Amino acid sequence: MIKQIINTDKAPAPIGPYNQSVKANGLLFISGQIAMDPATGNIDATDIEGETHQVMKNLAAILAAAGLDFSAVVKTTIFLTDMSLFTAVNSIYADYFTGDYPARETVAVKGLPKGVNVEISMIAAG
């Protein structure tokens, strides 16, 4: 198995001992992304809608660095600090796909890095 590390400066640098993504056996595994602005390292979003858009932009940048887009995504995991945020996150998330949605689970967690409310990881094929 050959694995390829794929990182981009258009998404936030990892804040721990991991990479933004790893490609292996035709699959791209994208680490969980939060609403961190890649240019500043800050969380600029002031609401769940802003957080979710920034997360999806970060994911899009990593997909693009691998030569992919959201149509290649086969699986996502969404982590929320409160399930009452589900509807807002789900609505924005859906806008980034064009019909053939990936498999997914959404789970509530006690806390997320940097005090954010949403984190999303993905697996893409390609």
Q: Write down the domain spans for the chain.
A: 3-125
- Position 26 pLDDT exceeds 90: yes
- The reported pLDDT for the residue numbered 99 is 84
The pLDDT tens digits of the residues spanning 63-86 come to: 999 999 999 999 999 999 999 999
Architecture of the domain spanning 3-125: 2-Layer Sandwich (3.30)
Note whether 105 and 34 are within 8 A (CB). Answer: no
- The reported pLDDT for the residue numbered 1 is 78
Between 126 and 108, residue with greater pLDDT:
108
The pLDDT tens digits of the residues spanning 87-106 come to: 999 999 999 999 899 999 99
- The reported pLDDT for the residue numbered 31 is 98
- Position 123 pLDDT exceeds 90: yes
- The reported pLDDT for the residue numbered 119 is 98
User: What share of the chain in percent tops pLDDT 90?
Assistant: 95
The pLDDT tens digits of the residues spanning 33-61 come to: 999 999 999 999 999 999 999 999 999 99
> What pTM was computed for the model?
0.96
